[in-house]
């Protein structure tokens, strides 16, 4: 049996993430129930709305098993809302959103603005090679604090002249992006995650 990557199939770009994982060389499994989560080697948490996803995790009885798998060292890749769920904390705090603390970051929800403020940008990501990576930001968060064990992978310039905003990071076998790599044809983020997960 090959390396299986679960895609949390509650909300967001589930089919797109599954297709990218397949193109990067993994067997995607759509995860909607605890037994499906138990069967996978790694997990992708797509975008969507983090408070709604928190509710759906509870309804599907995945909330606690997901926490146990993450504590047990399961590799995970979160994009947009997935980043928020994997983070240590949200600033300002929001009790409606579950934070699993899988990566030592604090994030700000909807940091770039509302849906109408969505945008695309080419990012310089040395980890992915010399070619820029197209990033699609939709009601995206950003990282306001990264712990000492966190590696920043990509930033975007700040419109207010402040420090550049962290929009992609990794720690151990956890990868997060504030944007939606599944909405482009570039599978390098998924390939990077697979290499991290298999290591």
Share of the chain above pLDDT 90, in %: 81
Q: Is residue 136 pLDDT above 90, yes or no?
A: yes
The average confidence (pLDDT) of the chain is 93
Query: pLDDT, tens digit, for every residue of 146-167?
Result: 999 999 999 998 766 678 999 9
**180 catalytically annotated:** yes
Q: Is residue 1 pLDDT above 60, yes or no?
A: no
**Residue 48 counted as an annotated binding residue:** yes
Query: pLDDT, tens digit, for every residue of 104-114?
Result: 999 998 777 66
Give the pLDDT band (50/70/90) at residue 66. very high
List of domains in the chain? 5-198 (3.40.50.880)
Q: Which of 16, 17, 180, 190 is catalytic?
A: 180
**Residue 49 counted as an annotated binding residue:** yes
Sequence-ordered list of residues with C-beta below 8 angstroms from that of 107, at least 6 positions apart, any chain: 83, 84, 87, 89, 90, 91, 141, 142, 143, 144, 178
**Residue 158 counted as an annotated binding residue:** no
Rounded distance, CA 38 to CA 91, Å?
Answer: 31
In this prediction, residue 157 carries a pLDDT of 87
Q: Which of 16, 17, 36, 182 is catalytic?
A: 182
Query: What is the mean pLDDT of the segment spanning 112-126?
Result: 81
In this prediction, residue 109 carries a pLDDT of 86
Give the pLDDT band (50/70/90) at residue 98. very high
In this prediction, residue 162 carries a pLDDT of 76
Torsion of CA 154, 113, 52, 40, to 10 degrees: -10
Q: Is residue 50 pLDDT above 60, yes or no?
A: yes
Q: Which of 36, 80, 120, 190 is catalytic?
A: 80
**Residue 139 counted as an annotated binding residue:** yes
């Amino acid at each position: 049996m090959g390396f299986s990557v679960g895609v949390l199939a509650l909300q967001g770009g589930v089919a797109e993430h599954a297709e990218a994982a397949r193109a990067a060389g993994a067997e995607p499994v759509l995860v909607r129930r605890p037994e499906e989560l138990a069967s996978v080697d790694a997990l992708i948490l797509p975008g969507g709305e983090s408070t709604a996803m928190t509710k759906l995790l509870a309804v599907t009885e995945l909330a606690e098993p997901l926490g146990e798998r993450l504590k047990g060292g399961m590799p995970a890749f979160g994009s947009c809302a997935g980043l928020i769920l994997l983070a240590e904390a949200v600033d300002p705090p929001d009790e409606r959103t579950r934070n699993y603390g899988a990566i030592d970051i604090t994030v700000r929800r909807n940091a770039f603005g509302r849906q109408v403020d969505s945008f695309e940008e080419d990012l310089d990501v040395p980890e992915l090679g010399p070619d820029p990576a197209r990033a699609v930001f939709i009601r995206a968060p950003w990282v306001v604090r990264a712990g000492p064990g966190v590696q920043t992978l990509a930033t975007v310039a700040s419109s207010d002249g402040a420090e550049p905003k962290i929009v992609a990071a990794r720690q151990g076998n956890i990868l997060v992006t504030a944007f939606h790599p599944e909405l482009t044809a570039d599978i390098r983020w998924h390939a990077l995650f697979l290499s991290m997960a298999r290591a």
